[in-house]
Chain A
């Protein structure tokens, strides 16, 4: 499991490889907060290479979304597979996040 952050124009794109769970959620949180502290405002997390997310992973996404909004920024999500979509629907987090089917559509939406 690993996270990588790349800049595409003004947008920080984060790839989540493997699971986003209690054992690694703090690593993702810290990486994104570091970028936020540097002044980045627009974030996209791409889940195309993600297996599953547990409740603590969802909690980190909620927390990051709040912190980014407080700084006047935006967090968007892309490429949820069917299982992950189910997870967001079950928890109604699909109503909290802007979720795009593809990375390209997400990037265009900012």
Chain B
């Protein structure tokens, strides 16, 4: 697992036609909503037969980061603003999309290296780094006036 796995421009046409939507939920912007959603997605990981580590660690941590960013940054913690969470599964991968009502951000410009000596004692700045370290692909794009972060992990 190395930081900065594939990222950047997304390609919707590349989606596997056998992909099915396993979960599609709208949640209010409240951090208490994170754990139940992550638990539901973890169940799908098990069905997909991702590895134990992917189910118990990579996916929960990366999804928690994406949801946390969407709720606290994208939607600025305004409970009335919604976050859409979608999980798509195929034979080979799990794709998660987290969409908020914010303006979006530049994934590369916002990803800092928290392991640099000057950053190591910072309280924040590890979220995007962890997402990109733990997932095979991280993308950000705008879709229907929503800011979407897409996380992809392949069966290992």
List, sorted by A's number, 6 A–B pairs whose CB atoms are closer than 8 Å: A19-B64, A22-B34, A22-B72, A54-B65, A59-B123, A82-B53
B57 near A: Cβ within 8 Å? Answer: yes
| Contacts known (A22-B72, A55-B126, A59-B126); A90 close to B1, Cβ less than 8 A | yes
Chain A 39-74 near chain B by CB (<8 Å), digits 1 or 0: 000000000000111111011101100100000000
A23 near B: Cβ within 8 Å? Answer: yes
The binding surface of chain B is classed by DSSP as helix
Count residues of chain B with CB under 8 A from any CB of chain A. 28
* CB neighbors of B among A21-36 (8 A): 21-23
The residue on A at minimum CB distance from B30 is: A23
B104 near A: Cβ within 8 Å? Answer: no
B48 near A: Cβ within 8 Å? Answer: no
| Contacts known (A51-B56, A87-B61); A66 close to B34, Cβ less than 8 A | no
Of the candidates A22, A66, A95, the one whose C-beta lies within 8 Å of that of B64 is A22
- Whether B57 lies near A19 (C-beta < 8 A) is no
The residue on B at minimum CB distance from A95 is: B120
